[in-house]
Amino acid sequence: MPVIKYKNRCIKFKNKIADVRNRFELTLEQTNGGLLSSNKLSGWWNDEITLYNTPSAHYDFNGYSITGSTLYDNNKFKFNGSSVSAEALFTPWPVRNVNLIQTSGGTINASPMTGYDGDTVVLTNTPEQGYDFISYELTGSTLYDNNKFDFNGNNVSVKSNFQVNYNPLNLPPNTVRVVTPNNQPPSRGPGAIATYETATLVPGTTNVYDVYKSGTDFTKLLSYSNIVEILGANTTGITNMEMMFYGCLHLTSIPLFDTSKVTNMDSMFERCVSVQSGALAFYQHASTQAIPPSSHNMTFFRCGLDSPAGSAEVDQIPNDWK
């Protein structure tokens, strides 16, 4: 009996030797998002295998999944009686988006409109005629180089700021460009009431004048003058426009110009009876600026009275402005 047991043990031992001599295979299951590799694709019992991963662009490695063995040290296993199948897990980066908030005065564009963290977006703007681009406002990132930002963990909203170009003619400070009906400079009116200092004929014209006054007070600048049109103005910094165009009986239109610092517009266009257009737009502009003028009594009193179109505009202006 002991011999039989010994023989059985020998048989078992020989079977064990046969198992050890088997060669095992590693199968690499490739998936989207990256490449899986290893230091070898086959081995003997107890051979150590090391796994490697190479994520594709915009993917993160998220661990290994293996069948037929047990992982250790994060990326290693040993053959242990069977072949092994391994898979690398990759997670795609979240896609980030740009939200463009379009505002009056122009349009903005972004390139690209979508991307991943670290990607750079370039902004461009196109002002409408008569407007200037001022700035971008960003939520979700930080602007650099005036028109760029990077995705950094968030979607990004972009808003543009445009403002009316109050000086499209690029006039020098304290200057108003006007048209008169003849070859004479703007008249001073009864009692030389107009207060401008100089009226310079624009080269190449016979009745276009640049009217200038120093300081910040344009009170009665062209009161009772014979002007028929205002072509443009650089009034940045002017604080008082009381009676500025009072009694300009032949003035036909009112353009927009800078009134951001003006506190007094009393009687500014009073008795400009021939005005056909521009009064309503000027009121809307002045009344909605950051700091509206504190005094605007009779600003449009009798303005546009002789013009049906002008009267229709003035009728829409609140009574405390006329």
- Give the pLDDT confidence of 143-200 residue by residue, as tens digits: 999 999 999 999 999 999 998 898 989 999 999 999 999 788 898 866 558 999 999 9
* pLDDT for position 184: 86
Q: What's the pLDDT score for residue 40? A: 96
Q: Is residue 218 pLDDT above 70, yes or no?
A: yes
Contact indicator for 196, 221 with CB cutoff of 8 Å? yes
Predicted confidence (pLDDT) per residue in 270-283, tens digit = 999 999 999 999 99
β-pair partners for 90: 61
Report residue 131 as tokens: 């407007």
Please name every residue paired with 109 in a beta bridge, in sequence order, or none if there are none.
124
Is residue 18 very low, low, confident or very high in pLDDT (cuts 50, 70, 90)? very low
pLDDT at 200: 96
- Beta bridge partners, 178, equal 209, 230
Strand 59-67: give its sheet, edge to edge. Answer: 42-43, 24-29, 84-92, 59-67
pLDDT band for position 22 (50/70/90)? confident
- Averaged over 86-91, what is the pLDDT? 97
Residue 259 and residue 241 in contact, taking contact as beta carbons nearer than 8 Å: yes
104 vs 252, residue with greater confidence? 252
Which residues fall within 8 angstroms of residue 20, CB to CB, at 6 or more apart? 44, 45
Task: Please return the burial class of 186, using the count of CB atoms within 10 Å of its CB with bins 0-12, 13-18 and 19+.
Answer: buried
Q: In the prediction, which pLDDT does 1 show?
A: 38
pLDDT for residue 16 is more than 60: no
Taking Cα atoms as reference points, which of 220, 177, 179 lies closest to residue 196?
A: 220
Please report, to the nearest 10 degrees, the dihedral formed by the alpha carbons of residues 269, 271, 274, 280 taken in order.
40
Q: List the single range of 7-16, 108-117, 214-223, 302-311 with lowest mean pLDDT.
A: 7-16
How confident is the model at residue 191, as a pLDDT? 58
What residue ranges do the domains of the chain occupy? 2-92, 96-164, 166-322
* Contact (CB, 8 A) for 268 and 233: no
Q: Write down the CATH number for the domain with range 2-92.
A: 2.60.40
| Cα–Cα distance for residue pair 255/278, rounded to 1 Å | 6
Q: How far apart are CA 296 and CA 319, in angstroms?
A: 10
